[in-house]
Amino acid sequence: MLDSFALLAFLNREKGYEKVRLLLEASQQSKEPLLMNEINIGEVYYIIGKTTSVERAEEFLHRLEMLPIKPIPNSFADVVDAARIKARFRISCADAFAVATASRMNAVIVTADSEFQQVEHLVTIDWL
């Protein structure tokens, strides 16, 4: 499962992008998509929109459709789970959704975001 940090690293060819690229290629070949919570996809959109332009953020959405990434929606119970995590740990709201989703789906979070260090006892982290 990708968090926004991992997908941004891939899109911007930053440190760790090669590992994400390999994961995406493996996902494409196996026909098993990588997971990503919709909130984290929204986070990528607003970061691109804020740092470059809304046009680039829209381009990202079109590119996302071609990547082997399955957006994971949130039910009310999922929102409450993320809120519980956010209340207990000093992580961003979007990161709380990633943790809640990974926990619910028994998925490994791929990231380089140091905020996840405090929740390593809740979910498995694959560090970039």
The whole-number pLDDT of residue 61 equals 97
Contact 93, 80 (CB under 8 A): no
Long-range pairs of 101-106 with CB within 8 A, sequence gap ≥ 24: 101/1, 101/35, 101/37, 101/72, 101/74, 102/1, 104/78, 105/1, 105/35, 105/72
User: What percentage of residues in the chain have a pLDDT greater than 90?
Assistant: 100
Residue 17: pLDDT band by 50, 70, 90 thresholds?
very high
Report, as an integer, the average pLDDT of 2-18.
96
Mean pLDDT, all residues of the chain: 97
Q: pLDDT tens across 27-72, in order? A: 999 999 999 999 999 999 999 999 999 999 999 999 999 999 999 9
Q: Which of 61, 68, 70, 72 is nearest to 22 (CA)?
A: 68
The DSSP code for 77 is: H
What mean pLDDT do residues 80-92 have? 97
Which domain, by its residues, includes 99? 4-127
pLDDT of residue 92: 96
Residue range 113-123: average pLDDT? 96
pLDDT band at residue 99 using 50, 70 and 90 as cut-offs: very high
- Token pair, residue 14, equals 């930053």
Kindly list the distances between the CA atom of residue 41 and the CA atoms of 28, 83, 114, in Å, as whole numbers in the listed order: 19, 18, 19
In the predicted model, what is the mean pLDDT of residues 108-120?
Answer: 96
CA pair distance 74, 121, nearest whole angstrom: 23
The domain that holds 85 is classified in CATH as 3.40.50.1010
pLDDT at 48: 98
Total domains in the fold of the chain:
1
CA atoms of 113 and 105, how far apart (whole Å): 20
